[in-house]
Chains A and B, each alone.
Chain A
Amino acid sequence: KAGVTQTPRYLIKTRGQQVTLSCSPISGHRSVSWYQQTPGQGLQFLFEYFSETQRNKGNFPGRFSGRQFSNSRSEMNVSTLELGDSALYLCASSPTGTTGMNTEAFFGQGTRLTVV
């Protein structure tokens, strides 16, 4: 079974531009979550999607948005990039995303975004 796939692996953008990151979850997983990892702030939750609906959102500005498609693939968009958006963006998928036993999150290898 293929793991969580994130594309691209590396990205360099200029301040003010926008960027779209993609995440393909493990087959059969319907919940996709996004996290931002920086040396200063650590790992922070961005948002979670389940069946094309955003169920949870972290404390990030509106420049950060996402969506999920009917095949559970998810995209994350950051508009008007700032230097502080430079980070490793991790995507995780989970089997059910509901209360119950299968709450384990499986992570992708991340997209390293550098804003210059």
Chain B
Amino acid sequence: AQTVTQSQPEMSVQEAETVTLSCTYDTSENNYYLFWYKQPPSRQMILVIRQEAYKQQNATENRFSVNFQKAAKSFSLKISDSQLGDTAMYFCAFMTLGAQKLVFGQGTRLTINP
């Protein structure tokens, strides 16, 4: 079974700083997807970024980028120029290719301070 571990329950940074959230996972699969989801106080889960395991290039979406280390089974999220609106719970998630089922980490509560 796949597992996802987020070792940082809470993080706090000042606005405009860069912050990195950590995620490790365990799987015997070779092809899979990794995701970072954001859940603000409104409870809506919003996809931040996704990475296909077969792609060596790290995904980027504006201020959000990932550091995907397949051999180490590590998938960290970097948020540059952080904004107050980035305050939320962030979940790392894994999906096996061909199975529409997400396995989530426990989440990291990120607070951006003005």
Contact = CB atoms under 8 A, between A and B. Distances in A.
Interface residues of B, number: 22
A45 B101 contact: yes
Interface string B95-114: 10111111111110000000
Categorize the interface residue count of chain A: 20 to 34
Contacts, number: 57
A107 B44 contact: yes
Contact of B100 (A42, A94, A110): A94
A99 B100 CA distance: 9
Interface of B is mostly: loop
Interface string A36-67: 00000011110010100001101000000000
Contacts of A107: 37, 44-46
Interface string B27-54: 0000001000100001111110010000
A28 B19 CA distance: 37
Contacts of B37: 107
Given A33-B101, A92-B102, A110-B44, 9 more contacts: A31-B100, A33-B102, A43-B91, A48-B101, A55-B99, A56-B100, A58-B101, A99-B98, A105-B102
Interface of A: 31, 33, 35, 42-45, 48, 50, 55-56, 58, 88, 90, 92, 94, 97-99, 103-110
